[in-house]
Structure 1
Amino acid sequence: MVLPFKHEPFTDFKAEENRKAFEDALKQVQGELGREYPLVINGEKIYTDDQLVSTNPANKSQVIGSVAKATKEHVDQAMNSALEAFQAWREWTPAERADILFKAAAIVRRRKHEFSAWLVYDAGKPWDQADGDTAEGIDFLEYYARQMIELGKGKALNDRPNEHNTYIYQPMGPGVTIPPWNFAFAIVCGTVAAPIVAGNPVLLKPSENTPVIAYKLVEVLEEAGLPKGVLNFVPGDPEEIGDYLVDHKDTHFINFTGSRATGTRIMERAAKVQEGQQFLKRVVAEMGGKDTIIVDQDSDLDLAADAIVNSAFGFSGQKCSACSRAIIHENVYDEVLEKAIALTKKLTVGNPSEENVYMGAVVNQKQFDKIKDYIEIGKNEGVLAYGGETDHTNGYLVYPTIFKDLDPKARIMQEEIFGPVVAFAKAKDFDELLEIANNTEYGLTGAVISNNRAHLNRARYDFHVGNLYFNRGCTAAIVGYHPFGGFKMSGTDSKAGGPDYLQHFLEAKTVSEMF
C-alpha cells in the first residue's frame, strides 16, 4: 500500500539541536571539498582533463569540486547507452520504477543536512533556503512516484457492445534534462525524476555553476537501484554541447529550466526535424519571471511588507518567482514602503558556510556584474530608497536594495534582474494595479494583498500568471500543493509538482478490441 503524499517538513533552526546538527553537516562536507567528479555514462565513471570548477559564491577562493566536462563524443556515447537502457527500462512496471524513487527519497531524507550543506557550499544557499531546497527534492521524488503509480492504471473509457477500449500511457524514449543553478538539488531532482519514473532514460547536463550537488543525486539514484544507462551524467560547456544535446536526432524531449533567451532558443531548435528523426520533440520549459506583489488599500500592511521583503530577498532574489515589483495603492504606498525598509534593515548578509545568515552571495561574477549594472540603471530611473551596496572582495555580495517611484515601463520594472532588487510603484485604483502587474512579457507568479473579496475574485482571472497567491508572498511553491509554471514568456506552464506534469513525458495510447 502506498501512503498519500505528505510534504517533507522544514527544519527549525531556532532549535539548538538542529543548529548543532547542521553545523556538524557543514564540517563533514567541508572535509570533502576539492574532490574530482566524473561523467557517468552507462554506469561507467569517466574522468577528463578538462573540468568544470565549482567555487563557493561567498568565498570565491574555496573550490567545492572539479567535475569532468563532456564532449560531443561523450553525448553520443550517453545517447547510445540511453537507447539501449530504454529497451529494458520501459518494461519495468510503473510501481517498480516508482520504488526506485521511494528508495532515493529515503536515502536523501536520512542525509538531509548533508545535502543541504552541499547546497550551502556549491550554490551559496543560506541554511533555511538550503533546507527548503533539499525538502523540495525529496517531495519531487515522493510525489512523482505516486503520480506514476496512478497513471499506470490508465484512464477509463466507454465501451460499446462487443468492443472493449483502454487508454494507457507509455514512455517516449531518451531525453535531455537541463536544470538551473538556483535550485541546484530540488529542480535537478524534479526534472530528472519525472521522465525517469515515466520510463524514459535521461541525459543530465547540470548547470556549470553547481555540478557537484547534481552528481550527488546521480550517486543516490545509483544506490537506490537505478539500472545503468537510465541516467547519464554529462556536465559540460553549454556552448560546446548545449545545442548538440537539443538537436540530437534521438532526443525525444528537452526538460529545461533557465533564462528566456535559452528557453526560446531550445524551442526553435527542437522544432526542426533532424535527419533520421521519426518523432516530434517535446519541450518543457520554465523560463523566468518579473513577478509582482499588488497591495490594495484595504489590506494588512504589515503582512504586505513582510510578503514583499521575504519574496524579494530570499536567496538574494535568485528565484524565478522572486518579487521584483511591488505595486502599491497610492493611499498606502508610503506606509508599506516604510515598513518594508524597516524589515529589510534587519536582514543579515554574509557567508552561510560560516554562519546562519538570511542572505548569502549571488552565484558568480557574471551575475554580480549584471545586478550591479541594474542598480545603476535603477538610480537613473527611480529613487534609491534603501541599499544598493555591493562587495566582491571575498564573495559576490549584493545587499538588499529597494527603489521607489518607478515608472511602470522602466527597465528595472520590465527586465528580469535575478538579484536582491525590488522596485516600488504606485497606482490610483485596482484597475491600475492590475494593469501594471500585467504589463510585462512574463507571467510566472504574483500575489495580491487585499481584504476586498471582489478584488481578489477579479484578480483570480485577470492577473495573468500561472501561480497566483492571495495574502502571502509570491515565492515558496510546495510540490503537490502549488503546481508550478507560468504563462506568456515564463514558459510552457507545465506545472511541475502537479498532477499533469508526468504526462509531458508519456505517450497516451488508445487500444480498441472487438469481440
Structure 2
Amino acid sequence: MVQPYKHEPFTDFAVEEERNAYLEALKTVEGYLGQDYDLIIGGERVTTEEKIISYNPANKEEVIGRVSKANQELAEKAMQAAVEAFKTWKKVKAETRADVLFKAAAIIRRRKHEFSALLTKEAGKPWNEADADTAEAIDFLEYYGRQMLKHKDGVPVNSRPNEYNRYDYIPLGVGVIISPWNFPLAIMAGTTVAALVTGNTVLLKPASTTPVVAAKFVEVLEQAGLPKGVLNFVPGSGAEVGDYLVDHKDTRFISFTGSRDVGLRIFNRAATHGDGQLWLKRVISEMGGKDTIVVDKEADLELAAKSIVASAFGFSGQKCSACSRAVIVEDVYDQVLNRVTELTNELKVGNPEDNSHFMGPVIDQSAFNKIMDYVEIGKQEGRVVAGGEGDSSTGYFIQPTVIADVDPKARLMQEEIFGPVVAFSKARDFDHAIEIANNTEYGLTGAVITTNRDHIQKAREDFHVGNLYFNRGCTGAIVGYQPFGGFNMSGTDSKAGGPDYLLLHMQGQTTSEMY
C-alpha cells in the first residue's frame, strides 16, 4: 500500500551531523567535477564533439562538467525514439509507471546532500536553498506518483439501463520539456516526471547553464527502471534544438518554464499547424512574475520586514516568485523601509559553499550585466538605501539592493529583473496598495501582511495572482500544499504540485457499451 503523501522535510543545518554530511557531499561532488556527459537517445549514449560547458557561477573558472550538445539531426533521432517508445509505454500500467517515480525518490533521498551540493556548485545555491530544491524534487516524484494512482481509473459518469459508460484519461504522446536553471533539479524533475507518469514519452532539454544536474537525474530514472526511449536527454541551443522540437509535427505538447519572451515565442510557434500534424499542440507554461508584498498599516511590521528580505533576496532573487516590489501603506512606510534596510545590510554575500553566506552569486555574466543595468535605472527612478554594488571578478556577486520611493509605473516596478533588487512604493491606503499590486502584466505570487480581517477578504477577492499568501513571504510554495502557477503573463496557471496538474498531460476518452 502506498503511504499518504507528506512533503520531504528540510534539513536542519544547526545540527552538526547534518553540517558535516553536507561538507562531505561537497567533497563527493568535487570528486567528479569536469566529467563529460552524453546525450541519451533511445536508451543509447551519444557523444558529440560540441559541448555545453557548465561553470560554477561563484568561481567562474571551475568547470562543473561538459555535456554533449544536440543538433537538429540528433533531435530528430530522439523524436523518432520517443514516438516508437510511446507505443508501448502508454500501455504500461499506471502502478508500474508510478513505481518508477517512487524508486527514483528513494534514490535521491539517499543521495540528498550530494544532489544539493551539486546545486550549490552548478547553480550557486546556498545550502538551505539547495536543500529545499532537492526536497521539492523528491516531493514531485512522490506526489505525482500518488496522483497518477488516483487518476488511473478515470472518473465515474452515469450509465442508463443496458449501457455502461466510462470516462478514462489517456496519454497525449511525445512531450518536449524545456526546464529552467533557477530550480534545475526540482522544476526539471517535476515537469519531466509529470509527463512520464501519465504515459507520455519525453525529450528533455534542460537549461544550458545547469545541464549536469539534469544528466545526473536522468541517470537516476534509468536506475529506477525507466525503459529505453521513454526519456531522451537532448541538451542544446534553444534557437536550434528548442525551436526544432517545438515546431515538430510529432510533438504533442510542450512544457516550458522560463522567461515571458521565450514563453510567448513557444506559444506562438506551437499554435502553427505543420504539415502532417494531427493535433493542436498543448502548451503548459510558467513564465515569471513581478511579485508584490503589500504591508498594511495594521500589521506586524517586524514580520513584514523579514518577509520582504527573505522573499526578495533568497537565492539572490532568482525566483519567479521573488518579491521585487514592496508596496507599503504610507502610515508605516518609513518604519518598514528602515527595518528592511537594516536587515539587508546584515546579509552576507559570498561563495555558497560557506554556509555563513546568506546569498551566493547570480547565475552568469549575462544575468549580472542585466541586473546591474537595472540597479543603474533604479538610481534614476528612486534612491538606493542598501546595496547597489556588484563584483564579477571571480564570481557573479551582487549586493542585495533596496531602492526606495519608486513610482508604481516606473520600469523598476514593472519589468522582471530576476535578481536581488527590491523596489519600494508608497500607497495612500490599503485599497491603493492593492491597486498598485495589480498594475503589472504578471500575476504569479503576492503577499499581504495585515491583521485586518476585512482587508484579508478584500485581497482574496481583488489581488489578482495565482498564489496569494497572508502574513508570510511570497516564495516557498510546497508541492501538494500550495499548488503553484500564475495568471496573465505569468503563464497558463498550470498549478504545478496541484491536484489537476497531471490532467494537463492527458486527454479524456469516453467509451460507451450497450448490453
The two structures have a TM-score, normalised by structure 1, of: 0.99
C-alpha contact 1:127 1:357 (8 A) present in aligned 2: no
Q: More displaced, 474-483 or 338-347? A: 338-347
User: Displacement of 1:355 after TM fit?
Assistant: 4.3
Deviates more, 1:205-214 or 1:355-364: 355-364
Equivalent residue, structure 2, for 1:465: 465
Tell me the residue number matched to 1:293: 293
Quote how far apart the aligned CAs of 1:356 are: 4.1
- Write out aligned runs for 1:257-276 (5 A): 257-276=257-276
After alignment, is 153-162 or 256-265 more displaced? 153-162
**1:257-282 Cα shifts (integer Å, max 9, x gaps):** 00000000100000011101001100
Moved over 4 A (4+): none
Cα distance, 1:14 vs. partner?
A: 1.0
Distance 1:213 1:430 in 2: 44
Measure, in 2, the Cα distance between the counterparts of 1:410 and 1:361.
Answer: 26
Cα distance, 1:164 vs. partner? 1.3
Match of residue 191 from structure 2? 191
Counterpart residue number, 2:210: 210
Matches within 5 A, 1:96-495: 96-495=96-495
Match of 1:498 in 2: 498
Q: Which amino acid aligns with 1:432?
A: H
**Secondary structure class of the residue paired with 1:144:** helix
Instruction: Name stretches of at least 5 consecutive residues in structure 1 with no aligned partner.
Output: none
Q: CA-to-partner distance for each residue in 1:151-175, whole Å, 9 max, x for gaps?
A: 0021011111221111100111111
Aligned partners of 2:225 and 2:481: how far apart in 1? Answer: 29
How far, CA to CA, are the matches of 2:416 and 2:50 in structure 1?
Answer: 32
SS at match of 1:332: helix
CA distance in 2, matches of 1:135, 1:29: 18
Provide the residue aligned with 2:81 in structure 1: 81
CA RMSD of aligned residues (A): 0.6
Specify the code of the residue in structure 1 equivalent to 2:230.
V
- Equivalenced residues, count: 515
Between the aligned partners of 1:305 and 1:298, the Cα distance in structure 2 is 14
- Distance in 2 (CA, whole Å) between partners of 1:184 and 1:499 is 23
Q: Which residue of 2 aligns with 1:11?
A: 11
SS of the counterpart of 1:244?
helix
Letter in 2 for 1:419: G
Report the Cα offset of residue 431 of structure 1: 1.1
Cα distance in 1, alignment partners of residues 80 and 356 from structure 2: 45
Shift in Å at residue 353 of structure 1? 2.5
CA contact under 8 A between 1:83 and 1:201: conserved in structure 2? yes
In the TM superposition, what whole-angstrom CA distance separates every residue of 1:312-367 from its partner, at most 9, and x where no partner exists?
A: 00000000000000000000000011111111122111001244421000000000
Looking at structure 2, the residues matched to 182 and 222 of structure 1 have their Cα atoms a distance apart, in angstroms, of 24
Give secondary structure in 2 for the equivalent of 1:367: helix
Q: Provide the rounded CA distance (Å) in 1 between the counterparts of 2:353 and 2:213.
A: 15
**What stretches of structure 2 of length at least 5 have no aligned partner?**
none
* Structure 2 equivalent of residue 2 of structure 1: 2
Q: Equivalents in 2 of 1:94, 1:357: separation in Å?
A: 44
Q: Return the offset for 1:239.
A: 1.6
Which amino acid letter does the alignment assign opposite residue 338 of structure 1?
N
In 1, distance between residues paired with 2:166 and 2:285?
31
Q: Partner of 1:345: helix, strand, or coil?
A: helix
Residues 384-419 of structure 1 show CA distances to partners (whole Å, capped at 9, x for unaligned) of: 111101001100001100000010000000000000
Q: TM-score, normalised by structure 2?
A: 0.99
| Residue identity opposite 1:189 in structure 2 | A
Shift of 1:238: 1.2
2: CA distance between counterparts of 1:123 and 1:142? 24
